[in-house]
């Protein structure tokens, strides 16, 4: 036999459950609306940034014949997002690789899938704080098009590191992935298992405005 | 009974001068594709064999890590080189890009030798010696009028080697004022490079302990 008190308790708990369910559904709907609003506004922000005035960036273009990097200035429109900025800058460098008169020729349509940043762990940061590791996700197409050899592979990595550090000075270390995965070498030689110190790449001091591209 | 004369003291023997030569790649690891159907692994094997016989002719002992078209792990190559305790270790590479000979040493920061070194960075204690050896080879190649470029790189198994280690990468010879254009496959060009490297190692024999 169910007592009156138990009946009251049952209905009370049922009421609490229904109220909580309604509250959770409302919260979920609000979150959904907020995400939709962000998704709608994001393309507008990117479009706005992409059409902003071009900025001068420095690219370090390799030369296979004398094993050197030449600083070249280019004006390009950069998006507001820092990760996207790094990707656009490196894509400009890859564009220099595939130019008809390239000194580091590579037939590749698109070379950079993504770039993202991590903070340098404490104790490894030689800049006194604020140093960042750029994780550069190279496309499989770039790794395939990369001429094999110690010199050409090392020059590709050095040019990317020097270019990133010149335009985003907080980047002190660089790690490379290919198609989002760790890989032993770029094209049979240059080691991709280690994290490189971008701040120690020897770079020429003079930048050539628009030269060589 | 006449007493036996005391044995003469043996002359003090220093460490043996031995060169370790490694032909990069091999087996399924073909390395770079150089021209039509020519693979880096075959070129490096040929150059390593030529260097071995040239060094033998100059009275220098050689340990060759790869002598056939087989797969060898980087860790095994480093182990063989370290076990041999060579006075110089050379890794032979070839590429289709650039010009002349590219000499590479480890990009590790030099450190002092410790009793136990981490495997991944064992070369750091030998970087200074490696740079000296690189300088000797650079001079010999320049003397032979072969263009040279010097660099630092991270290429397996270089960073795990406990000897003066230089990667010698042979590229085609681009025609210039002094030189005519020659592909990496040109035997006379290969001989020219091998002779210069052997001359540098002969010089290294008197310099390596300094």
Q: Please name which of A52, A173, A162 lies closest in space to residue A124, comparing C-alpha atoms.
A: A173
DSSP assignment letter at B173: B
Phi-psi bin for A86: left (phi > 0), alpha (psi -120 to 50), beta? alpha
Q: Which residue has the tokens 């080697």?
A: B161
Q: Pick B167's closest partner by Cβ from A67, A147, A150.
A: A150
User: Using CA atoms, how far apart are residues B80 and B67, in angstroms rounded to an integer?
Assistant: 13
Is A67 in the B-facing interface, judged by CB distances under 8 Å?
yes
Average the pLDDT over B157-182 and give the result: 87
Could you state, in order of their start, the residue ranges of all structural domains in chain B? Answer: 18-111+118-207
Query: Sign of the C-alpha dihedral, residues B106, B109, B115, B118?
Result: negative
pLDDT score for B18? 96
Mutate to test the interface with A, among B98, B102, B149, B161 (most CBs of A within 10 A): B98
List chain A residues with CB under 8 Å of B102: 67, 149-151
pLDDT score for B81? 97
Interval B26-52: pLDDT, tens: 999 999 999 888 999 999 999 999 999
Arithmetic mean of pLDDT over chain B:
90
Q: Are B23 and B63 in contact (CB under 8 A)?
A: no
Give the residue with greater pLDDT, B123 vs A200: B123
Query: What backbone torsions phi and psi does residue B80 show, to the nearest 5 degrees?
Result: -60, -45
Q: With 60 as the cut, is the pLDDT of residue B12 above it?
A: no
Could you tell me the two tokens for B175? 């025609």
Q: Pick A150's closest partner by Cβ from B33, B99, B104.
A: B104
Could you tell me the two tokens for B165? 């280690």
List chain A residues with CB under 8 Å of B161: none
Q: Are A60 and A158 in contact (CB under 8 A)?
A: yes
What homologous superfamily does CATH list for B18-111+118-207? Zn-dependent exopeptidases (3.40.630.40)
Q: Which residue has the tokens 């290969």?
A: B190
Strand boundaries in chain B, DSSP class E: 18-23, 61-64, 88-94, 101-106, 148-153, 165-170
Q: Pick A190's closest partner by Cβ from B32, B155, B174.
A: B155
pLDDT score for A211? 36
DSSP assignment letter at A180: T
pLDDT above 70 as % of chain B: 90
Q: Please name which of B166, B135, B205 lies closest in space to residue B24, comparing C-alpha atoms.
A: B166
pLDDT score for A91? 96
Residues of chain A with pLDDT below 50 are: 44-45, 47-48, 204-213
> What is the 3 state secondary structure string of chain A?
CCCHHHHHHHHHHHHHHHHHHHHHHHHHHHHHHHHHHHHHHHHHHHHHHHCCCCEEEEEEEEECCCCEEEEEEEEECCCCCHHHHHHHHHHHHHHHHCCCCCCCCCCCCCCEEEEEEEECCCCCCCCCCCCEEEEEEECHHHHHHCCCCHHHHHHHHHHHHHHHHHHCCCEEEEEEEECCECCCECCCCEECCCCEEHHHCCCCCCEEECCCC
Q: How many residues does chain A have?
A: 213
Average the pLDDT over B95-124 and give the result: 90
Q: Which residue has the tokens 């994780």?
A: A135
Phi-psi bin for A149: left (phi > 0), alpha (psi -120 to 50), beta? left
pLDDT score for A213? 31
Average the pLDDT over B16-29 and give the result: 96
Question: Is there a contact between A147 and B151 if contact means CB atoms under 8 Å apart?
Answer: no
pLDDT above 90 as % of chain B: 79
Q: Count the helices and strands in chain B (H runs, E runs).
A: 4, 6
Question: Is there a contact between A150 and B33 if contact means CB atoms under 8 Å apart?
Answer: no
pLDDT score for A202? 61
Chain A nearest C-alpha distance from B46 (Å): 17
Give the residue with greater pLDDT, A183 vs B174: A183
Q: Please name which of A117, A115, A116, A97 lies closest in space to residue A107, comparing C-alpha atoms.
A: A97
User: Using CA atoms, how far apart are residues B54 and B52, in angstroms rounded to an integer?
Assistant: 6
Count Cα neighbours of A50 within 13 Å in the Cβ-side half-sphere. 8
User: Model-level pTM?
Assistant: 0.81
User: Using CA atoms, how far apart are residues B180 and B191, in angstroms rounded to an integer?
Assistant: 15
Q: With 80 as the cut, is the pLDDT of residue B172 above it?
A: yes
DSSP assignment letter at A150: H
List chain A residues with CB under 8 Å of B31: 148, 188
List chain B residues with CB under 8 Å of A188: 25, 29, 31-32, 40
Question: Is there a contact between B171 and A67 if contact means CB atoms under 8 Å apart?
Answer: no
Interval A66-82: pLDDT, tens: 999 999 999 999 998 99
Q: Is the peptide bond before B45 cis (omega within 30 degrees of 0)?
A: no
- In DSSP terms, A56 is beta-bridged to A75
> Exposure string (b/e) for B21-36, b if CB count within 10 Å is 16 or more?
bbbbbbeebebbebee
pLDDT score for A74? 95
- In DSSP terms, B93 is beta-bridged to B169
Query: Sign of the C-alpha dihedral, residues B142, B148, B149, B154?
Result: negative
Q: Please name which of A86, A84, A104, A83 lies closest in space to residue A95, comparing C-alpha atoms.
A: A104
Q: Which residues of B touch A (CB under 8 A)?
A: 25, 29, 31-33, 40, 93-99, 102, 104, 149-151, 153-156, 159, 167, 169, 171, 174
């Amino acid at each position: 036999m169910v007592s009156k008190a138990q009946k009251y308790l049952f209905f009370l708990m049922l009421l609490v459950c229904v109220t909580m369910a309604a509250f959770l559904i409302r919260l979920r709907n609000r979150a959904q609306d907020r995400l939709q609003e962000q998704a709608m506004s994001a393309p507008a922000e990117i479009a706005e940034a992409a059409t902003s005035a071009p900025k001068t960036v420095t690219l370090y273009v390799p030369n296979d014949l004398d094993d050197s990097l030449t600083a070249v200035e280019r004006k390009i429109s950069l998006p507001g997002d820092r990760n996207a900025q790094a990707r656009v800058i490196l894509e400009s460098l890859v564009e220099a690789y595939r130019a008809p008169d390239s000194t580091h020729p590579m037939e590749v349509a698109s070379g950079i899938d993504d770039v993202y940043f991590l903070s340098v762990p404490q104790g490894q940061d030689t800049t006194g704080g604020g140093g960042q590791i750029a994780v550069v996700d190279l496309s499989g197409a770039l790794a395939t098009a990369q001429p094999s050899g110690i010199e050409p592979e090392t020059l590709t990595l050095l040019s990317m590191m020097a270019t990133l550090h010149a335009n985003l000075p907080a980047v002190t270390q660089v790690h490379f992935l290919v198609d989002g995965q760790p890989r032993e070498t770029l094209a049979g030689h240059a080691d991709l298992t280690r994290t490189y110190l971008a701040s120690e790449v020897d770079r020429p001091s003079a930048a050539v405005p628009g030269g060589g591209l | 009974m006449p007493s036996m004369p005391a044995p003469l003291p043996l002359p003090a023997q220093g460490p043996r001068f031995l060169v370790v030569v490694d032909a990069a790649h091999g087996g399924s690891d073909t390395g770079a594709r150089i021209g039509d159907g020519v693979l880096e692994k075959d070129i490096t094997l040929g150059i390593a064999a030529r260097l071995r016989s040239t060094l033998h002719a100059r009275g220098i002992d050689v340990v060759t890590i790869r002598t056939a078209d087989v797969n060898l792990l980087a860790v095994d190559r480093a182990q063989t080189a370290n076990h041999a305790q060579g006075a110089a270790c050379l890794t032979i590479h070839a590429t289709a890009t650039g010009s002349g000979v590219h000499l590479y040493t480890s990009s590790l920061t030099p450190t002092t030798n410790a009793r136990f070194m981490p495997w991944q960075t064992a070369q750091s204690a030998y970087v200074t010696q490696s740079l000296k050896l690189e300088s000797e080879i650079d001079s010999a190649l320049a003397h032979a009028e072969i263009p040279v470029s010097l660099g630092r790189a991270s290429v397996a198994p270089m960073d795990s080697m406990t000897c003066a280690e230089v990667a010698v990468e042979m590229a085609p010879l681009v025609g210039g004022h002094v030189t005519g254009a020659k592909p990496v496959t040109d035997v006379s060009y290969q001989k020219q490079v091998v002779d210069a490297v052997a001359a540098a190692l002969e010089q290294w024999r008197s310099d390596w302990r300094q």
